Amino acid sequence: MTAMTLAMRLRDRLAPPKGARAERPSSDAAGVYAPVFFTEWEWSFLLAVVETVVPGGEDGSRDATGVPMFIDRQLGAPVGGESCWHMLAPFLAGVSPVLDYQLRFPLRNLYRHGIAVVNRIFLDETGHPFAEASETERDAFLLRLAAGRVAFRGICGQAFFRQLLTDIRLGCRVTG
C-alpha cells in the first residue's frame, strides 16, 4: 500500500458524511486549537516533536502548524481506535513496516503509553520534560529512540517512534 493510498483511506475515514457540515477544529476564545484527544502535557510533547522533526524552510521557518492538529483529530476519530485495524494475533516482532501497523495496541494506546514512557525517561535523564528541552537535546534523544537505544517497557520504542514519524509525514502531506 502506498503512502498516497493510505492518505486517501484516512481522508475518507475522517471525512464527514455527504451532506453533513464539516466540524471546525476545537478552539478556545482566543482561536487557539484545543486538542480533542491529547492531554495538555501530551500535546506539549507532540508540539515539541513536530518542531524538532519537521525541517525548516530556506528562511528557517517551519510550516507544520497543521500537523499536530491532524494527528490529534486522527486519534480522536475511529481510525485512532481498534475498529479500523486488524487487532488479532499473531503479533510478530520485526515485521516489515510495509505491512502497515502491526502492534497489539490501538494507535490511541500506543501514543498514550509511548508519550508517557518517553517523558518519564527523558525527565529521569535530564531533570526536565521533553517539551521544555532544547532542540539539540530533543534531537539527540529522538535519534537514540529511532535507533532503538532507549529502553521501553510494554512497547517497542522504535515502533512508537516509527508510527509517530509516519503520522507526522502523513500530516505534512495532508495539511501542507
Q: So where are the chain's domains? A: 1-12+39-48+64-79+94-176
Q: What is the DSSP letter of 147?
A: T
Q: Is the pTM of this model over 0.75?
A: no
Kindly list the averaged pLDDT for each block of 10 residues, start to end, along the chain of length 176: 49 44 46 87 94 72 75 80 55 58 73 92 94 94 89 77 89 80
Burial code (b: 16+ CB inside 10 Å, e: under 16) for 51-68 equals: bbbbeeeeeeeeebebbb
What are the distances in angstroms from CA 23 to CA 11, 89, 99? 14, 36, 32
